Amino acid sequence: MAFVAADDGGDVGGDGFGLLDYVAADRDRLPIGVVDAPVISTLQRASMKKFTITTNSLGEAVLYWSVSDPRNNVETCLIIATLNGVTAPLGAVPAVHGQSNYEFADRILNAYVGKKVYTIVFVYYDGSVSIGDKVASTVKNSNIPLRYLK
């Protein structure tokens, strides 16, 4: 996997913070701050066994994923989301030795209407990264409580 910087050092995306400056990483486009790291060289890559989304009682998207990392090389799982064409990191879940199942509740984009696409980025102990091979998405069509639609 190769990362090609699309950033000229300035704020290309025009958001004032550089969040919209992207790099091309195979099939994905992620913020430079997320993937501006070396590609895995000698470490065995982790792989995702499953990646699903459910909704909790507060209407938040809850992401569940399972990781196959037999050598425990993963240090952190970064959660990346795209909404209305804007991609940004939402949070991070530290990897735990011997644990393969993880979850994350999206409390940040919960209130926004539209399609949200989630990706997991694995950060390894040597500082390298890889992008999970599965994506999950959910759509919120309205912020109006169902009781008002009856």
Strand partners, 131: 121
pLDDT of residue 70: 78
pLDDT of residue 42: 57
- Per the CATH hierarchy, to which homologous superfamily does domain 40-148 belong? Immunoglobulins (2.60.40.10)
pLDDT of residue 144: 76
Q: Collect the ranges in the chain with pLDDT lower than 50.
A: 1-38, 40
The residues, ordered by sequence, that sit 6+ positions from 6 with a Cβ below 8 Å of its Cβ are 12, 21, 22, 23, 24, 32
What pTM did the predictor assign? 0.68
CA distance 2 to 92: 23
Q: How many CA atoms lie within 13 A of 54 on its CB side?
A: 5
pLDDT of residue 92: 95
Q: How many CA atoms lie within 13 A of 147 on its CB side?
A: 0
Tokens of 145: 């409580």
